[in-house]
Amino acid sequence: MTADKPAPVTIIGLGSMGAALAHAFLEKGHPITVWNRSPGKADALVAKGARRATTVAEAVAASRLIVVCVLDYRAMREIIGSPNRAVTGQVIVNLTSGTPKEARETAAWAAEIGVNYVDGAIMAIPPMIGQEHALIFYGGSEAVYQEHAATLASIAGAGTYLGPDAGLPSLYDVALLGLMWTTWLGLMHSLALVGSEKVEATAFMPYVQAWFEHVIAPEVSNIATQVDAGSYPDNDSTLGMQAVTIEHLVDASRAQQIDTALPELLMARAEEAIRAGHAGDGFGSLYEVLRQPAGG
């Protein structure tokens, strides 16, 4: 891509995310060709200047850079890999959601059929696509990524290349989503606990926010440093001591007649770490049982 002539892009898959990607490329001036199994999904894009391909072969031939965002990796390979679709030498940036294993297998498959392949994981919702703070992780050939980095910046200004391993974007994706979901679940358990005594969630929220800001957030980087070092100082609060209060959480949840699965899981992992010799270490030592659970 040059400053005067943005590179053409083909987008395959026009679900809510694929359509957002296509709109972002259009808004940045890229000539785009689109294809979707249901042709009608391209109507709004065609009205804005996109070219509708009637076949995948036509879509693939229209651009060197092909961005794919479909249901899953299996669908992606079926669409791209049909024998009558010449994709040798093309660049596929696959933004389909999946697992690290699927990404690595697809990268190997792409190499076999002569496709230059980059895998990506979108860490944004459709309305964020095209914005400077939108994040997409990329993995695969660095040369291929760098060749198209400026074009890909049109859909995510905070796009980040993680390295040659095509599986890393999906790994980062599921790890961050796991953090989000478990954090939300912990919050909802806390709200259920106070809500059992008719405390409104909004009334409790100022204390939640202060707890995040002054207690939880400052400790995150400390735990990361401990994990990398494999050393878990107790900071005057050993895991053995904290296990007692975790047991209080289990008992209180049971007494308040709310779900106990989450605190019981936490208690079980703490007890496992203590049995493994971490009673005198800090809370971060739970990492050791999570990365290598008993019997694993």
Q: Provide the 3-class DSSP secondary structure of residue 2.
A: coil
Query: Each residue of 175-223: pLDDT tens digit?
Result: 999 999 999 999 999 999 999 999 999 999 999 999 999 999 999 999 9
List, as one string, the DSSP characters of 267-289. Answer: HHHHHHHIIIIITTS-GGGHHHH
Residue 237 lies in a domain: yes
Query: Each residue of 241-282: pLDDT tens digit?
Result: 999 999 999 999 999 999 999 999 999 999 999 999 999 999
26 and 100 together in one domain: yes
pLDDT at 3 over 90: no
Q: Which amino acid is at 211?
A: W
**Residue 149 contacts residue 161 (beta carbons within 8 Å):** yes
Q: Would you place residue 293 in the very low, low, confident or very high pLDDT band (cuts 50, 70, 90)?
A: confident
69 and 210 together in one domain: no
Residue 157 lies in a domain: yes
78 and 166 together in one domain: yes
pTM of the predicted model as reported, rounded to 2 decimal places: 0.94
What are the helix (H) ranges across 28-135?
43-47, 56-62, 73-80, 100-112
Query: Each residue of 52-79: pLDDT tens digit?
Result: 999 999 999 999 999 999 999 999 999 9
In this prediction, residue 236 carries a pLDDT of: 86
165 and 25 together in one domain: yes
Domain finish residue from 154, 170, 186 = 170
DSSP label at 62?
H
Question: What is the C-alpha separation between 147 and 161, in angstroms, rounded?
Answer: 12
16 and 96 together in one domain: yes
Residue 219 lies in a domain: yes
Question: What is the C-alpha separation between 84 and 86, in angstroms, rounded?
Answer: 6
Q: Provide the 3-class DSSP secondary structure of residue 119.
A: strand
Share of the chain above pLDDT 70, in %: 97
In this prediction, residue 85 carries a pLDDT of: 62
Residue 178 lies in a domain: no
**Residue 68 contacts residue 80 (beta carbons within 8 Å):** yes
117 and 248 together in one domain: no
CATH code for position 237: 1.10.1040.10
Domain that holds residue 232: 200-291
Residue 65 lies in a domain: yes
Residue 186 lies in a domain: no
Residue 182 lies in a domain: no
117 and 207 together in one domain: no
146 and 204 together in one domain: no
112 and 50 together in one domain: yes
Q: 3 burial class (0-12, 13-18, 19+ CB within 10 angstroms)?
A: exposed
208 and 275 together in one domain: yes
Number of helices and strands in the chain (H, E): 12, 8
What are the Cα distances from residue 191, in Å, to 2, 82, 211? 53, 51, 14
Number of domains in the chain: 2
Question: What is the C-alpha separation between 254 and 248, in angstroms, rounded?
Answer: 10
- Helix pair 73-80, 100-112: axis angle to 10 deg: 10
Question: What is the C-alpha separation between 273 and 279, in angstroms, rounded?
Answer: 7
